Amino acid sequence: MAPPHPFDPLTLGEIAKAAVIVRKELDGKDPNFRVITLQEPPKQEMISFLEGELRGQSHKRPARAARVQVTIRGNSKPNEMVELTIDLTTGSVIKKEHLVGKHPYIDSAYMQAAEKACRADPRIETEIQNLKLPKGAQVVVEPWAYATDGMNNVSERTTMCWFYLRLLDHADANYYAYPLDLCAEVSEQLQVTKIYHLPSSEDERIREDARLYDHSKAHSPELSEYHPDLRPPPRTTTKPYQVVQPEGPSFQVDGNLLSWEKWTMRVGFNYREGLTLHDIRYDGRSLFYRLSLSEMFVPYGDPRTPYPRKGAFDLGNDGAGINANNLRLGCDCLGTIKYFDGWHNTASGEPLKLPNVVCCHEQDDGILWKHTNHRTQNAVVTRSRILVLQTIITVSNYEYIFAFHFGQDASIHYEVRATGILSTCPINNGDKVGYGTVVAPGVLAPYHQHLFSLRIDPAIDGYANSLQVEESHPMPINDPNVHNPLGVGYTTKSQIITEEGGHDLDFVSNRTFKIINEKQINPITGTPVGFKLLPCYSQMLLAHPQSYHARRSEFGSHAVWVTRYQDDELFPSGRHTMQSLGGEGISSVIEQRKSDPAASSVRNEDIVIWHTFGSTHNPRIEDWPVMPSEKMVVGLKPVNFFTGNPGLDVAVSTQEKNESVLVDDGAGCKAGICPRL
Amino acid sequence: MAPPHPFDPLTLGEIAKAAVIVRKELDGKDPNFRVITLQEPPKQEMISFLEGELRGQSHKRPARAARVQVTIRGNSKPNEMVELTIDLTTGSVIKKEHLVGKHPYIDSAYMQAAEKACRADPRIETEIQNLKLPKGAQVVVEPWAYATDGMNNVSERTTMCWFYLRLLDHADANYYAYPLDLCAEVSEQLQVTKIYHLPSSEDERIREDARLYDHSKAHSPELSEYHPDLRPPPRTTTKPYQVVQPEGPSFQVDGNLLSWEKWTMRVGFNYREGLTLHDIRYDGRSLFYRLSLSEMFVPYGDPRTPYPRKGAFDLGNDGAGINANNLRLGCDCLGTIKYFDGWHNTASGEPLKLPNVVCCHEQDDGILWKHTNHRTQNAVVTRSRILVLQTIITVSNYEYIFAFHFGQDASIHYEVRATGILSTCPINNGDKVGYGTVVAPGVLAPYHQHLFSLRIDPAIDGYANSLQVEESHPMPINDPNVHNPLGVGYTTKSQIITEEGGHDLDFVSNRTFKIINEKQINPITGTPVGFKLLPCYSQMLLAHPQSYHARRSEFGSHAVWVTRYQDDELFPSGRHTMQSLGGEGISSVIEQRKSDPAASSVRNEDIVIWHTFGSTHNPRIEDWPVMPSEKMVVGLKPVNFFTGNPGLDVAVSTQEKNESVLVDDGAGCKAGICPRL
């Protein structure tokens, strides 16, 4: 069997081997394996390897290495975390770090234990009894990681347990529709340390008495249930729609190497980022070393205790890989589908398969380009085919659908869809607050933001790139040195960024961020080759700069960040986000490196671009009980990179191949066969 | 036969009848019929009609009326324009206007005559001979309407003729790839009144000597030809992709009434706006009275004479209807297609069919909503089907693809794709200018903007609506009256607009424009029902406010305009844009009405929203020789209009219906049949 490619995720054997080595290293201790994942090779080694590979020459293979994260069970220090780097070839431990005061991503076993602890607590039992719940209804305890608010010691974990009700006797009844006036805080040692009654109006004092359950009066299942078992029959008007690819897909897969329409890339996957893409090329030319979603932050805007504790790092705390859905044929994608599996590990270090976590398929995307010569009336039209790599994650109530779209015109689009169920809390009938929407009687969906960081590690015709900021400005009209007599002229002004930092978007000046290679000049335009970012215009973090939300997330303060590439610098809110205190994110790193220009200059260097985007999600009632997908799209397009339209060689669209069908053939309407061109 | 619906375009018989009436009215004159189109009924009459129709009651039919525009041939006043309104029931002339100093949209017969005049001019013949063109190459004369620059008397038409070369002996050779150093101005009387040599560097003086043709040296057809006859064989890697709808489409068409997935609307079409939509409802509830693209302006940013004369009103001057493509099965749309024809008229007043100008079909749009219960691992997923109404226009070199997308979640998206060929001019090899991109040797593609105005005539649960502007702002942290101790709170602030005017976008504050009905309160949220605009963030017009470009277009200075509804107020740059002098657009109208609050207040009134969007198109070489579609999208979404997700009743996605196919069934990958839910 061929050895794995250096970008391939760890194989089953490698996962098992890493566990054995770590067990030996931690001799006598009882490790809970949280992570066994690929430690990607140092970039300098990879560049040599990739260049050799491209030329078909022999090339030194970087060593295979694993990054392993364990917590030590039965230890005096609760939940002590150790991170090790293992050389899988030599079987040696390269690096070992005791991460004091840090916590790994959420441990579902621990969360379940916290839930159990709540249920076992007699005070909570009494509270629930006092609520006088309807008969047959079941209480659901939903544990959340504690978002640091400065109240608790973060060296030990705190779990916030929210209480809901399954009103109907069905395992998939929507319990978020019945938030109870109860909340509990559970300690590392699984003790219930605090019990809260929740606020209703803007008066946020925590009340002594819990509100009785009174939703049922006004709140019919019709308004809040989403599961087909619990709903009236669905609409029957939607006729079947199938995608047929009689000759199969246009892509080829060889292990994790994916080739499609002049594109090549390597598909990666890990517990935290989920889908990652590596060594992305078009027509053999290097474009991106790595593309990944690097972080997500969902801060809630309700200021009342205990809601500031709701602020989720869905990658750092939860993991986009570990929470990836098992995608099902016929449900999540349409057409001819290739699924990729992911691999993770069990608590005892065995390989654990995450099946069908990425689907790969093609879509028709309308017209790629068209021109009708108005003199001859001859039309030339090509249809756009795109390649979609999609992964879907569930993080408690919400789901996110992440998809990279590759185009025949050498464009890449990254689409995020937010769907799932809003996080809810109780509100008295008739009360209103300024930071939430009443989506059902007694149910408040608080305002919140979803902020994403797309990490773009470019390799535009090579690894030394620059970030150019270009704006379009009117030419002056009364400047004797400028010829613009009629006031119609405008030009572009551009600046190349020399220092690491964060930048803002500005559509008013058509501010455009281009990643360019200053050493590669386009032979026709005479300008550096580049790719431009098509940003998703989004409001940045609303929380105050001094708040924990802001200090912990950091990337949410600017839309476009540029940093100098550093191995392992993958996460703009820091490596460990669980109960983090802040100061470990992208702006802190930039600040620390500022004094060393050799390490922080970003012109003609190996740089990384991080795009912050997302939505300020002030819920509409139409988002209830499951929200229709809310799309956000970021694009990357060549700008003076090629010598013309890269999709010019796409064959014209013909009825022969497309086999479209006319609905009717009414008076005078000829079933048009596309004229042969 | 049933009488036409009041929103139906004129029938063949009505067109012919209108021509007869006008001929009689203009007794003895020789009318050139430019327009015979539906004069839509006064809105007050239509509202009564629609309300009666909805209740199934008898209702007074508004009179059928035609708007007819003619120019008088053989007149002493050149190209005199007369506009008449005809009552088709009574056969009477309701209104007759002599439009002094105005010009109708471009007359292709006149343009061809201007082209011929150029070719016949001996001075031009000499100029062309002096260029020493390659043998076999053919000169192409491309006439453009004169964009007012203050140099010419606009009471008569001026045509600017640009010269290009068909280098290859093929009718579809791309002549825009060989712009010649020649330009001519042709008068109303078809005289060549001026001959220009064109600038090259930023030195804009018009040169005495024309540049010799010297492109051929460096400029291979490979770089600039797009027609398959003139190109190497296309890529063969793209496998066929077909859409199969075994039970037919989910929409029904009854004349111009279109019904699909709870949506109903009436399809309209006219020479100027092209596709229009009327009386748009979801589940019987009124949403929009009328949706249309109301204008487009394409100003060029090259300040050098004679380029400020390039500024095209593609609707007002050219017409989106008259220039709509005849869409071909298998080329422009995929799947099961219904085409709508349009009707126009000949110069002598006969009905003229514009076949297949609108295509209507469905598309799969990925996932509509999904939730996986993390406790049961049961996923419920629905796919999104959209209804697409598409029309494509060719305006000389460019094409625009306009499509309305209707969603099962009651959303509407309006997508514009720009494709086609860049407008070009010559540049000396080695020269550069700040307002254009060299896309091929000797070929400059000047910077320009595409500005669109989408006219939204809302009827949100009725005809009295308001425009609400909402922003999201952090709560203060040190205000003793505000409880926000941890600095995470944010709220929305909103304002209802009371006066007509233009507004700007601001993603920084998440500024959101909502069209609401203040009298209809959502029973659950307690707030007015509404629809929000999802704007396309775009740079506004760059030309100086005092320039003719700005004065003539007007709508390009703000992104969101609100006006009080007035019958026939459809065009934000005025009714007549050909060689217009300005002062007839949306801001002038608002200014004029300002003194009369009864006519201009916009709160709880019949209002119209106009969204300006587009692109600052600084060409990339990848846009050459035919540009890959550049997408711009505007959305309209319900916001607290319904009592929940309007797509909640869409049936779950099943493999049974979707019949997707697995690429392979490799190790451990089970061909998943979607679990029955």
Query: B38 and B9 in contact (C-beta within 8 Å)?
Result: yes
Report the percent of chain A where pLDDT is more than 90.
88
Question: Residue B209, exposed/middle/buried by CB under 10 A (0-12, 13-18, 19+)?
Answer: exposed
Calculate the alpha carbon distances from B24 to B13, B29, B81 in Å: 17, 9, 16
In angstroms, rounded to a whole number, what is the distance separating the alpha carbons of residues B289 and B282? 12
Q: Sort out which chain A residues have CB atoms less than 8 A from B392's CB and list them.
A: 367, 370
Mutate to test the interface with A, among B226, B490, B636, B640 (most CBs of A within 10 A): B490
Taking residues B553-581, report their average pLDDT. 98
Decide if B303 and A336 are in contact by the 8 Å CB cutoff. Answer: no
Say yes or no to pLDDT of A76 above 80: no
Looking at the DSSP bridge assignments, the partners of residue A502 are: A561
- Binary contact (A618, B472; C-beta < 8 A): yes
Inter-chain residue contact B675 with A375, CB threshold 8 Å:
no
Nearest to A626 among B248, B371, B486 (CB): B371
More confident residue, B112 or A204: B112
Chain A CB contacts of B378 below 8 Å: 171-172, 227
Closest CB to A367: pick one of B299, B384, B629.
Answer: B629
From the CA of A84, how many Å to the nearest CA of chain B?
30
Distance, in Å, from the CA atom of B114 to the CA atom of B104, rounded to the nearest integer, reads 16
Are B661 and A246 inside 8 Å of each other by CB? no
Spatial contact of A457 and A467, defined as CB atoms under 8 Å apart:
no
Q: Which chain A positions have a beta carbon within 8 Å of B170's beta carbon?
A: none
Facing B243 at nearest CB: one of A243, A417, A653: A243
Chain B residue with minimum CA distance to A509 = B539
The yes-or-no verdict on residue A200 having pLDDT over 90 is: no
Q: How far is B13 from chain A (nearest CA, A)?
A: 16
Give me the CATH topology for the region B251-300+311-422+447-639: Beta-galactosidase; Chain A, domain 5 (2.70.98)
Q: What is the pLDDT of residues A95-106, one digit of tens each?
A: 999 999 899 999
Q: Give the nearest chain B residue to A171 (CA atoms).
A: B376
**Contact at CB, B172 and A524, closer than 8 angstroms:** no
Q: Which of B409, B539, B655 sits opposite A628 (nearest CB)?
A: B409
What residues of chain B lie within 8 A of the CB of A245, using their CB?
Answer: 239-242, 661
Residue carrying the six token digits 């007699």: A122
Query: Length of chain A in residues, anyone?
Result: 677
Nearest CA in chain B to A303: B489
Q: Which of A477, A524, A658 is closest, CB to CB, to B242? A: A658
pLDDT at residue B429 is higher than 90: no
Residue ranges covered by each domain of chain B: 12-99, 108-230, 251-300+311-422+447-639
Averaged pLDDT for residues B116-137: 94
Q: Are the Cβ atoms of B261 and A489 closer than 8 angstroms?
A: no
Q: Which pLDDT value is given to residue B77?
A: 75
Q: Which residue of B has its CA nearest to A332?
A: B367
pLDDT at A34: 97
- Residue B606 Cα to chain centre, angstroms: 24
Write out pLDDT tens, residues B650-667. 999 999 999 999 986 443
pLDDT of residue A205: 60
The DSSP result for B59-79, as a single string, is -PPPPPEEEEEEEEET-SSTT
Q: What is the mean pLDDT of residues B356-360?
A: 97
Closest CA–CA distance from residue B327 to any residue of chain A (Å): 9
Q: What is the ipTM of this complex?
A: 0.96
Whether A543 and A616 have beta carbons less than 8 Å apart is answered as no
pLDDT, tens digit, 9 for 90 and up, residues A511-534: 999 999 999 999 999 999 999 999
Contacts of A231-237 with CB under 8 Å at 24 or more apart are: A231/B648, A231/B649, A232/B649, A234/B649, A234/B650, A234/B651, A234/B652, A235/B261, A235/B262, A235/B649, A235/B650, A235/B651, A236/B651, A237/B250, A237/B260, A237/B261, A237/B262
Residue pLDDT, tens place only, A428-456 = 888 899 999 999 999 999 999 999 999 99
- Per-residue pLDDT at B579 exceeds 50: yes
CB B258 within 8 A of CB B266: yes
Q: Nearest Cβ partner of A649 from B234, B374, B628?
A: B234
Residues of B identified as active-site? 314, 398
Mutate to test the interface with B, among A622, A624, A631 (most CBs of B within 10 A): A622
Residue-wise pLDDT for A221-277, tens only, equals 889 999 999 999 999 999 999 999 999 999 999 999 999 999 999 999 999 999 999
Nearest-angstrom CA–CA distance, B295 and B554: 11
pLDDT tens column, B44-100: 999 999 999 999 887 889 999 999 999 998 767 777 899 999 999 999 999 999 999
A127-169 pLDDT, tens per residue?
999 988 988 899 999 999 999 999 999 999 999 999 999 999 9
Per the model's pLDDT, the better-predicted residue between B40 and A478 turns out to be: B40
* Residue B573 scores a pLDDT above 70: yes
User: What is the nearest CA distance from B166 to chain A, expressed in angstroms?
Assistant: 12
Find chain B residues with C-beta within 8 A of A339's C-beta.
662, 669
Q: In the numeric block, which tokens belong to residue A396?
A: 């408690």
Is the pLDDT score of B668 beyond 90? Answer: no
The domain defined by A108-230 folds into Nuclear Transport Factor 2; Chain: A, (3.10.450)
C-alpha distance from B511 to closest chain A C-alpha (Å): 9
pLDDT of A672 over the 70 cut: no
According to DSSP, the residues that pair with A263 across neighbouring strands are A260, A282
CA distance B25 to chain A (A): 33
Task: Report domain A251-421+448-617+626-639's class.
Answer: mainly beta
**A487:B546 CB<8 A:** yes
- pTM of the model as a whole: 0.96
Name the residue with tokens 């799947």: B335
Residue of B372, B403, B441 with shortest CB distance to A524: B441
Q: How many CB atoms lie within 10 A of CB A594?
A: 13
Q: Which of the residues of A are catalytic?
A: 314, 398
Residue B241 and residue A396: Cβ atoms within 8 Å? no
CATH class of residue range A12-99: alpha beta
Is residue B619 over pLDDT 90?
yes
Record: contact A373-B237, CB cut-off 8 A: no
Ramachandran quadrant class, A119 (left: phi over 0; alpha: psi -120 to 50; beta: rest): alpha
Beta strands in A118-203 (DSSP E): 138-145, 158-166, 179-187, 192-196
Average pLDDT, integer, range B190-198:
95
CB contact under 8 A, B547 and A651: no
Quick check: A211 pLDDT over 90? no
Q: Kindly identify which residue of chain B lies nearest to residue A172, measuring between CA atoms.
A: B373
Same fold, B108-230 and B251-300+311-422+447-639: no
Which one-letter amino acid corresponds to residue B160?
M
Cβ atoms of residues B188 and B78 within 8 Å = yes
B632/chain A closest Cα distance in angstroms: 12
Taking an 8 Å cut-off on Cβ atoms, the answer to whether A526 and B653 are in contact is no
Identity of the amino acid at A296? M
| Per-residue pLDDT tens digits for B518-532 | 999 999 999 999 999
For chain B, what's the residue count? 677
CB within 8 Å: A624 and B642: no
Residue keyed to tokens 């002493």: B76
Yes or no, beta carbons of B622 and A488 under 8 Å apart: no
Give the percent of chain A with pLDDT over 70: 96
